[in-house]
Structure 1
């Protein structure tokens, strides 16, 4: 009798397991850095997030319509040390945007909702970008090549600066903090480098609803 052929493990599954193990290891390291489990997010390091908390309170009643899924924080996270790269590979943190309100968005070319919302993010930067506000859209494709640039060129992005993180460090950091369950993931960060609120999933960020909420959050900082 012929013995049944043994099933050969699929290479793709092995690669996925390796990738998940790597992400889990990175998540443990990030958890240690950011103080996961502290009663006030990770603000136990003594950083004051009073400005962003005030902004969150002002944004809450305006989180409606196109931004109804936006969740203003009640326990702000210190996001100032989150790391990503410029198009030429230079490391940046949100500390480099100190004094500005930042809409931090994580996206990938393979993520259909990300691709759909990108034009709105570009228009928002065109409408509100300046000394006090900036959209920071960070691509998290692994081994991205020229795919992100080609996509942004194809849709005619005019106002966004290109940022990336092909090592997934930023995504793992936010996921470990409970702020990125998938893509797209967006965090509004105040001029003090602290979280104002988080959005899970896409939004029409240039809509009247979104701009009214953002302006209310910024006005509360004065």
Structure 2
């Protein structure tokens, strides 16, 4: 696990430094996991993302373009991923606190077994605020160069990547909430509307 995390961190640092000369990193709050000290990496200039196609919890086809106009946290995860399982409750609490028309949290599962597995996972953990999104092919992870799970992309309202995090985060910690607000330019008073 540590070797994979180290390789993932090396890849991100190398990839970002090759594409952007002045990469910035911000250390995440401690979450008690072996990968907790991995940093959030941000680009000086936003970059275009490939088109991603997936389904929502009702089986409707969706794309990232559906969320254009709002900042997005795209979290690529799977039910069998232990760090993903640990971070999902805090991501659910972040969605409850900030989600809605001003921030869209898109937890994109790459489970090959389908919606029923993802829905059962949500029920098991009592996740109530997050939407359900699934790319059963797993192709979205490859398209955005996600080298480990979970991988979370910070996406601006124009649909461009401005940063990412490989590994879990304590998404509802005060430090991480402040970072999300700052990087995605959310007002501090924004208790968001329902989606």
- Name the TM-score, length of structure 2 as normaliser: 0.75
Structure 1: which 5+ runs fail to align? 1-38, 42-56
Q: How does 1:9-24 map to 2 (within 5 A)?
A: none
Secondary structure, counterpart of 2:95 in structure 1? helix
Secondary structure, counterpart of 2:101 in structure 1? coil
Q: How does 1:128-167 map to 2 (within 5 A)?
A: 128-144=98-114, 146-167=116-137
Give yes or no for contact 1:80–1:93 (8 Å, CA) kept in 2. Answer: no
Greater helix percent: which structure? Answer: 1
1:187 aligned to 2:150? Answer: no
Give yes or no for contact 1:80–1:194 (8 Å, CA) kept in 2. Answer: no
> Is the alpha carbon distance of 1:80 and 1:126 closer, same or farther for their aligned partners in structure 2, counting shifts above 3 Å?
farther
Partner of 2:6: none
- Could you say which structure has the larger radius of gyration? 1
Q: How does 1:1-222 map to 2 (within 5 A)?
A: 63-66=26-29, 69-79=39-49, 81-144=51-114, 146-175=116-145, 180-219=146-185
Looking at structure 2, the residues matched to 93 and 198 of structure 1 have their Cα atoms a distance apart, in angstroms, of: 19
After superposition, give the CA deviation of every residue in 1:135-181 in whole Å (9 maximum; x if it has no partner): 10011011236221111101111101100011111012112xxxx11
Give yes or no for contact 2:40–2:164 (8 Å, CA) kept in 1. Answer: yes
Partner of 1:34: none
- Name the TM-score, length of structure 1 as normaliser: 0.66
Residues 131-140 or 89-98, more deviating: 89-98
Shift of 1:123: 0.2
How many residues align? The count is: 163
Secondary structure, counterpart of 2:39 in structure 1? coil
Q: Over aligned residues, Cα RMSD in angstroms?
A: 2.6
Residues 100-109 or 86-95, more deviating: 86-95
Which structure 1 residue ranges, 4+ long, deviate > 4 Å from structure 2?
A: none
Structure 2: which 5+ runs fail to align? 1-17, 30-36, 188-195
